[in-house]
Amino acid sequence: MDYLHWFDLLGIAVFAITGTLAAWRKQMDGFGVLVLATVTAIGGGTLRDVLLDVPVVWMNNNNYFITIFSAALVTIVLLRRRMTIPNNTLQFFDAIGLAFFVIMGTQKALDHGTSYFVAVMMGTMSGVAGGMIRDVLCREIPMVFRGELYAFTCIFGATIYILTQWAGASTFIAMLIGISSLLSLRLAAIKWQ
């Protein structure tokens, strides 16, 4: 399941970009960019791992940081050249990253023996908590509190994932169904919002 790691890094990269954009808007300096890119990208997963009391995922894998710093660097270079990342493109990749984070986070909670209910919560937290910490550090009320559809899409996807597994599907099939449900709903929301 090595390709899973690539999806993970894709999500990390996109979340790092949104952190970089937030830092840029607030006219922060280089260190602010690094911190915001990092907490947005790994904040949700880190909180999940600390609460589950398992080793945090990035502790022994530098790929996460290489991805985050590269994404932040490329974003800053583009911004300085007054090029912009089209909002649609960003939202599209964000949806992929989000779907992946939520379903993987749900599974990780289940792996550690939580109830279905707590697993849905942990999955959703994996998807949205990084952005919440980003917003708090930017002195904003978390964006996800103002546009509830984003968060409820996560809850929906995690629930579908668990129901599919509960109905007897293999983890792999359930993942495919969970991720594509979440992704479809999110893309529909982006299109018709």
Reading phi first (left if > 0) and then psi (alpha if -120 to 50, else beta), residue 103 is in alpha
d(CA 169, CA 162): 10
Considering only residues 10, 74, 76, 138, which one is a binding residue for a copy of itself as defined by CB under 8 A?
138
Which C-beta is closer to a copy of itself: that of 6 or that of 145? 145
Q: Are the C-beta atoms of 12 and 64 separated by less than 8 Å?
A: yes
Site string for a copy of itself, 91-110 (x = CB under 8 A): --------------------
d(CA 127, CA 151): 8
Considering only residues 147, 166, 173, 188, which one is a binding residue for a copy of itself as defined by CB under 8 A?
147
* DSSP designation for 114: -
- Residue 74 touches a copy of itself, criterion: CB under 8 A: no
Judge residue 76's burial from the number of C-beta atoms within 10 Å of its C-beta, 0-12 exposed, 13-18 middle, 19 or more buried: middle
At its nearest, how many Å lie between a copy of itself and the CB of residue 39?
10
At its nearest, how many Å lie between a copy of itself and the CB of residue 170?
26
Task: Choose one: 99-107, 140-148, 170-178, 181-189; the region binding a copy of itself (CB under 8 A).
Answer: 140-148
